[in-house]
A and B are shown apart, each in its own frame.
Chain A
Amino acid sequence: MNVEFYEKIWMWVASALLVVFLGAIFLMAGLHAVEPPSHIETLDPEALSAHPEFGNPAVKIQPDGSVVVSVVAQMFSFSPDPIEVPANRPVTFRITSADVIHGFEVVGTNANAMAIPGYVSQFTLTFRQPGEYLVACNEYCGLAHHRMVGKLVVKKEAP
């Protein structure tokens, strides 16, 4: 194909730009496992109340000191609320929905995942900054969607 000299240069520059973008993503994914939440696990959304974990969603400290938070999103609240977790320890969130699709976003942090009925979203984060955080539903779920908020409290650990 007969391509103008300057256009050829631009096409190489454009390719290089995309290689750099993708390279950065692959590097972070490969070296530090920086990935979106992609857990695969299913459950029956119509039998949540009888579920051993999500029947009574709560914060549980594991024997190794790590923290697991089970969250049920439903129209129009999160349980548990508030969620209390220690600072500077890995916290694994496990989230599902009891009815429609919701979002679980902890404002000002990297916690942001979908709560889909029948599926469990899971990701792990460490909160460095003690304090109160707003949890907001960020997927439209009905007429009170904007009122669907909760609280996450990150507590300073006892020395």
Chain B
Amino acid sequence: MTSRHSLAGAHIGVAIAAFGLASAMGVLQALSIADIDFPQRSDLLYYISVTAHGVLMALVFTTFFIMGLGYVFAQETLGRIRGRVVAWLAFVLGLAGSAIAAYTILAGQSTVLYTFYPPLQAHPLFYIGATLLVVASWIWGGVMIASYCSWRRENPGVPVPLAIHGMLANIIIWYLATAALAAEVVGMLIPWSLGIVKTVDPLLARTLFWWFGHPLVYFWLIPAYVLWYTVLPHVAGGRLFSDRLARMVFILFVLLSVPVGFHHQFADPGISAGWKLAHTVTTYAVLYPSLVTAFTIIASLEVAGRMKGAGGLFNWIARLPWGDPFFASVALAMIAFVFGGFGGAINAAYAMNTMVHNTAWIQGHFHVTLGTTVALTFMGATYWLLPRITRRELRFPFLARIQPYLWFLGIALFSTSYHIAGLRGLPRRVYTASLSGENAAPWHSLTRVAAVGAVVLFLSSLSFLIVVLATWWTGRRTEALAFQFALPLRPVTSLSIWDRFGLWTVLAVILVIAAYGYPILSLMSHPRYGSPGFKPF
């Protein structure tokens, strides 16, 4: 590994290790739900593994990958990372926190799922470990901002490279979101799990969790969008269709991705229908930047096809590099997001949510969104990053070429089945779809199809891991490969309203206060009775 990219390499290495471990657990869960027996299958191990899968995939894999990607962008587009020593300390802190939390999960002391809703009570070290990971990510955000400020002093009046623009937007969202998480975990759950306070209010904790929990999905998605905007058009052989609109898209996410959390709490008591409706409006509004992204990216790909000589209405699609593992991963991730996005619109549809709330539909939904749109983009990005940060040739390129298609096939079987099973009423996260033994008919065969899909997904994960490990350890050494970013069709040379991060941050804070201030105050003004902790695991 080149020393310039050792920070990024370390972060991405941890991310991929977490991903590998979590994938193996994922396939066992799908088999268990479908009632396919295997040695050591038990409800105890099932719920431990659901917790570990969620924490490792949703928190460890994503956060470490995004931090690593941020460092690559800072190094390659700004030419600097300010505060490398601090960045390494943060890495150690995040890794230690993740390891501590993971240990308490695997030891069976924190089977509370990745949402850790109280009054389910985990081991105190679970909360403390998770907090360390978040603190590490805060330091990473600080290093990224310091690198940007240093670059800005040398380059006044020039728009920042688009990749950094997107990452800065993401960091602002992350600070706005994790403030609520810190309030929940540090202010409520850690003292409660240590016995310093006897009870906590479960609804207040849930509300703070989802203040964090929905922007969390944008924290994952925005780095994927950055790759789509800044790397994909270049790999496809084209140009970015519109640079300025991309900047607008990232700013709209800063404004709209936080004040939306009540759409996860439609079925909760204690929050009025009017405020739930208000969050429905912001939730639909945040679909808008994704719809704009769909146009810009597809237009950029059309430019690529036309630059390669396509003349017809649709034959530019055939001219795209479908055999390139990065391109194929991202293209398939985008196709998955058509279903993910419209599925999300259904989840957010206020009263219609009652059809799907907490059913297997939701499992189907976030495996096309996080599990494919984000994860497949990150896997594809790894094929692009790895030769560049390790200066080694990709091993087993054939495996890398088929891996994204295998993933897409797996997710099509898995998520389609769970979407339908959910509509038929299958509750999510159950050890067996037979529940207590009866009434399993309307969904049982679907869980079998999902299990086949999960096996295909696991084969795809294995292929990915083989390529990554073989490249890292035995790949043939090469000359330094350039990191090339997509050129815009019309370059932007001057600053615009979309570059004013300070202004947008202030507006975002105002929106968050407007969306949460009154409902939380009103929640706290009722006579409230807390709950003591329970450990039914």
Binding site for B on A (CB under 8 A): 1-4, 6-7, 10-11, 14-15, 17-18, 21-22, 25-26, 28-29, 34-46, 75, 99-101, 103, 105, 107-108, 110, 112-114, 116-122, 134, 136-149
B292 and A108: CB pair below 8 A? no
Give the residues in chain B near A99, CB-CB below 8 Å.
119, 531, 534, 536
The one of A36, A108, A119, A139 in contact with B354, judged by C-beta atoms closer than 8 angstroms, is: A36
| Interface band, chain B | 35 or more
Q: A38-B269, A38-B276 are in contact. Are A46 and B532 (CB under 8 A)?
A: yes
Question: How many Å lie between the Cα of A17 and that of B295 in the bound state?
Answer: 14
CB distance from B249 to the nearest CB of A (A): 11
B349 and A25: CB pair below 8 A? yes
Specify the chain B residue showing the minimal Cβ separation from A118: B529
B202 and A101: CB pair below 8 A? yes
A2 and B276: CB pair below 8 A? no
Give the residues in chain A near B526, CB-CB below 8 Å.
40, 42
B357 and A112: CB pair below 8 A? yes
CB distance from B223 to the nearest CB of A (A): 23
CB distance from A143 to the nearest CB of B (A): 5
B295 and A138: CB pair below 8 A? no
Contact of B277 with A by CB under 8 A: yes
7 new A-B contacts, CB < 8 A, other than A75-B536, A117-B531, are A11-B292, A34-B351, A35-B273, A43-B529, A114-B268, A119-B270, A144-B536
User: Which of B79-87, B214-222, B423-431 lies at the interface?
Assistant: B423-431
Specify the chain A residue showing the minimal Cβ separation from B286: A18
Return 19 A-B CB contacts under 8 Å, by A number.
A4-B241, A18-B288, A21-B284, A21-B345, A25-B350, A35-B351, A36-B276, A36-B351, A37-B354, A43-B529, A75-B536, A103-B357, A112-B355, A121-B267, A121-B268, A134-B439, A138-B358, A143-B43, A143-B47
B269 and A25: CB pair below 8 A? no
Question: How many Å lie between the Cα of A134 and that of B299 in the bound state?
Answer: 49
CB within 8 Å of A: which B328-350 residues? 345, 349-350
CB distance from B204 to the nearest CB of A (A): 10
CB within 8 Å of A: which B416-441 residues? 424-425, 427-432, 435-436, 438-439
Specify the chain B residue showing the minimal Cβ separation from A106: B425
Q: A140-B113, A146-B430 are in contact. Are A36 and B244 (CB under 8 A)?
A: no
CB distance from B261 to the nearest CB of A (A): 14
A105 and B119: CB pair below 8 A? no
B269 and A18: CB pair below 8 A? no
B351 and A105: CB pair below 8 A? no
Question: How many Å lie between the Cα of A25 and that of B349 in the bound state?
Answer: 7
B242 and A3: CB pair below 8 A? yes
B425 and A105: CB pair below 8 A? yes
B537 and A143: CB pair below 8 A? yes
Best-buried of A7, A117, A137 by chain B (most CB within 10 Å)? A117
Binding site for A on B (CB under 8 A): 43-44, 47, 50, 111, 113, 117, 119-120, 201-203, 206, 241-242, 244-245, 248, 266-273, 276-277, 280-281, 284-285, 287-288, 291-292, 295-296, 299, 345, 349-351, 353-355, 357-359, 424-425, 427-432, 435-436, 438-439, 442, 490, 496, 526-532, 534, 536-537
A36 and B350: CB pair below 8 A? yes
A7 and B430: CB pair below 8 A? no
Specify the chain A residue showing the minimal Cβ separation from B48: A143
A146 and B351: CB pair below 8 A? no
The one of B206, B270, B287 in contact with A18, judged by C-beta atoms closer than 8 angstroms, is: B287
Question: How many Å lie between the Cα of A143 and that of B248 in the bound state?
Answer: 47
B269 and A136: CB pair below 8 A? no
Give the residues in chain B near A122, CB-CB below 8 Å.
269
Give the residues in chain B near A100, CB-CB below 8 Å.
117, 119-120, 531, 534, 536
Question: How many Å lie between the Cα of A116 and that of B268 in the bound state?
Answer: 8
B427 and A138: CB pair below 8 A? yes
B529 and A46: CB pair below 8 A? yes
Give the residues in chain B near A137, CB-CB below 8 Å.
427
Give the residues in chain B near A140, CB-CB below 8 Å.
47, 50, 113, 120, 429
B350 and A116: CB pair below 8 A? no
B267 and A142: CB pair below 8 A? no
Best-buried of B496, B532, B536 by chain A (most CB within 10 Å)? B536
Question: How many Å lie between the Cα of A104 and that of B438 in the bound state?
Answer: 18
A146 and B528: CB pair below 8 A? no
CB distance from A87 to the nearest CB of B (A): 20
Give the residues in chain A near B355, CB-CB below 8 Å.
110, 112
Give the residues in chain A near B113, CB-CB below 8 Å.
140
Specify the chain A residue showing the minimal Cβ separation from B431: A146
Question: How many Å lie between the Cα of A85 and that of B382 in the bound state?
Answer: 57
Give the residues in chain A near B241, CB-CB below 8 Å.
4, 7
CB distance from A9 to the nearest CB of B (A): 9
The one of B44, B287, B349, B427 in contact with A136, judged by C-beta atoms closer than 8 angstroms, is: B427
CB distance from A108 to the nearest CB of B (A): 6
Give the residues in chain A near B529, CB-CB below 8 Å.
42-46, 118
Give the residues in chain B near A147, CB-CB below 8 Å.
435-436
B350 and A29: CB pair below 8 A? yes
A7 and B299: CB pair below 8 A? yes
CB distance from A39 to the nearest CB of B (A): 5
Question: How many Å lie between the Cα of A143 and that of B432 in the bound state?
Answer: 12
B44 and A143: CB pair below 8 A? yes
Specify the chain B residue showing the minimal Cβ separation from A11: B292
Question: How many Å lie between the Cα of A38 and that of B272 in the bound state?
Answer: 5
Give the residues in chain B near A142, CB-CB below 8 Å.
120, 534, 536-537
The one of B202, B296, B357, B536 in contact with A118, judged by C-beta atoms closer than 8 angstroms, is: B202
Q: A40-B270, A142-B536, A146-B432 are in contact. Are A14 and B291 (CB under 8 A)?
A: yes
Give the residues in chain A near B296, CB-CB below 8 Å.
7
The one of B120, B269, B357 in contact with A41, judged by C-beta atoms closer than 8 angstroms, is: B269
Question: How many Å lie between the Cα of A4 and that of B295 in the bound state?
Answer: 11
Give the residues in chain A near B424, CB-CB below 8 Å.
107-108
Specify the chain B residue showing the minimal Cβ separation from A28: B351
